Amino acid sequence: MPEFADVIPLSLYVHVPWCVRKCPYCDFNSHGLKDELPENDYIDALLVDLEAECAALQSTAVESVFIGGGTPSLLSPEAVARLIEGIGDRLELAPGCEITLEANPGTAEAGRFVGFRQAGITRLSIGVQSFDDRLLAAIGRIHDGREARAAAEMAKAADFDSFNLDLMYALPGQSLAQAHSDIESALELEPTHLSYYQLTLEPNTLFFRHPPKLPAEEVAWRMSQQGIEALQARGYARYEVSAFAQSGYECRHNLNYWRFGDYAGIGAGAHGKLTDLRRGEVARSLKQRHPRAYLEAARNRRFDRKREVVPQNNLPLEFMMNALRLINGFDLALFSNRSGIPLGKISRALAEAESKGMVEIRDGVLRPTTLGIRFLDDLLLLFAPKTEPRHTSGGLPCVPPGDGLISLGDP
């Protein structure tokens, strides 16, 4: 019998698939804007999509909402207000519900952030990447260091409950000193949260086809270590492989992903993961990727959900791909609560991980060790299905969208 918990926490992910220009390293479902953004049609489509999702939900109370992209800060505050109102009409937002919006500094006009705050956004996540003009140009960003600083200052002044800065390291031609200086610049802006990602070359990107010269892996490792030390020295706890927060400012939405909670996904190319407690199964879904196809689907009220049940033998790997990213680990009971699988089924893999020094288990809590975090891919292999095919759910990703997505290559 499946051993699921009675209630699995639910979040909502909203995808906005447009950017001013496509960055050469980015494999998100994002499309450079050629004409004006069809924001009214898109908000209508999102709400039709949500309506259809609600029919499949066993509970409609959500703990968090994440409006990610692409570049959601391209939307006007009025459109964001209509979206949040529409979500509130269809779902029950838990008290203190965290509502994040991702922003690109190049789209941070004065007044826009204040408008987002008034529209109900509680947490802003700004993709600054670096403060160095030459490095920003090398990775094809639309903004410079001054605009990155200005965006963070505006976020601070707009008085969000929490604001995050995304920084990347191991950029083309970046030195250790430059990486250090980016961290120092970020800290001066006093974000409550910081995501620190190693630049990875993803298939289907310009950088993958024409790779720039990146710092050696050993240098990248030292960059990550010096970053971790500097952040910890200033009171930011590393609570996930790439995520750092002042106490109490951890991203609740991403924590729900990492704890293998549920999420409905609306928008072009949005992923969802929902547990059907009645049938005792976990299923993933994926919407039409292309914005045009998605808008067309909304007009016809025929969304392509591409629902796929995760095979039982893939669930341990899918669970661990998320939960082992948590630096402080997790209560082992969570495994059965979220996967429905008895803990005994993975006892051999757990014992092997422990004997290899990759995890520690104490008082029912499992924690990845420094070695386990550094060689996370090797650790995860222990939980992969032992019989062929050795892959995850039908090509749908195991790691969710959001600001903690890209970092299996991270130290």
Ligand X SMILES: C[S@@+](CC[C@H](N)C(=O)[O-])C[C@H]1O[C@@H](n2cnc3c(N)ncnc32)[C@H](O)[C@@H]1O
Interacting residue ranges for ligand X, rule: CB under 6 A = 19, 25-26, 28, 68-69, 71, 102, 104, 127, 129, 166, 168, 197, 199-200, 202, 403, 406
| Binding residues for ligand SF4 restricted to 60-99, rule: CB under 6 A | 69-71
**50: number of CA atoms within 13 Å, CB side?**
24
CB 124 within 8 A of CB 101: yes
Interacting partner of 22 out of ligand X, ligand SF4, none (Cβ under 5 to 8 A depending on kind): ligand SF4
Pick 207 or 330: Cβ nearer ligand SF4: 207
As a whole number of angstroms, the distance between CA 149 and CA 68 comes to 21
Task: Give yes or no for a cis peptide into 70 (omega within 30° of 0).
Answer: yes
As a whole number of angstroms, the distance between CA 131 and CA 313 comes to 45
- Least Cβ distance, residue 276 to ligand X (angstroms): 29
| Binding residues for ligand SF4 restricted to 125-164, rule: CB under 6 A | 127
As a whole number of angstroms, the distance between CA 128 and CA 145 comes to 8
Pick 265 or 316: Cβ nearer ligand X: 265
- Least Cβ distance, residue 277 to ligand X (angstroms): 32
Size of the site for ligand SF4 (CB under 6 A): 11
As a whole number of angstroms, the distance between CA 392 and CA 142 comes to 36
As a whole number of angstroms, the distance between CA 61 and CA 56 comes to 13
Going from the C-alpha of 194 to that of each of 162, 242, 400, the distances in angstroms are 11, 8, 18
Q: Going residue by residue from 22 to 61, which x/- string records binding to ligand SF4, judged by CB under 6 A?
A: xx--x-x-x-------------------------------
Lookup result for tokens 């922003």: 103
CB 30 within 8 A of CB 71: yes
Interacting partner of 68 out of ligand X, ligand SF4, none (Cβ under 5 to 8 A depending on kind): ligand X
- Least Cβ distance, residue 104 to ligand SF4 (angstroms): 5
Pick 23 or 158: Cβ nearer ligand SF4: 23
- Least Cβ distance, residue 164 to ligand X (angstroms): 9
Pick 107 or 314: Cβ nearer ligand X: 107
Which residues are within 8 A (CB) of 98 and not within 5 positions of it... i.e. 6 or more apart?
A: 63, 64, 65, 122, 123, 161, 162, 251, 252, 253
Residues that bind ligand SF4 (CB under 6 A): 19, 22-23, 26, 28, 30, 69-71, 104, 127
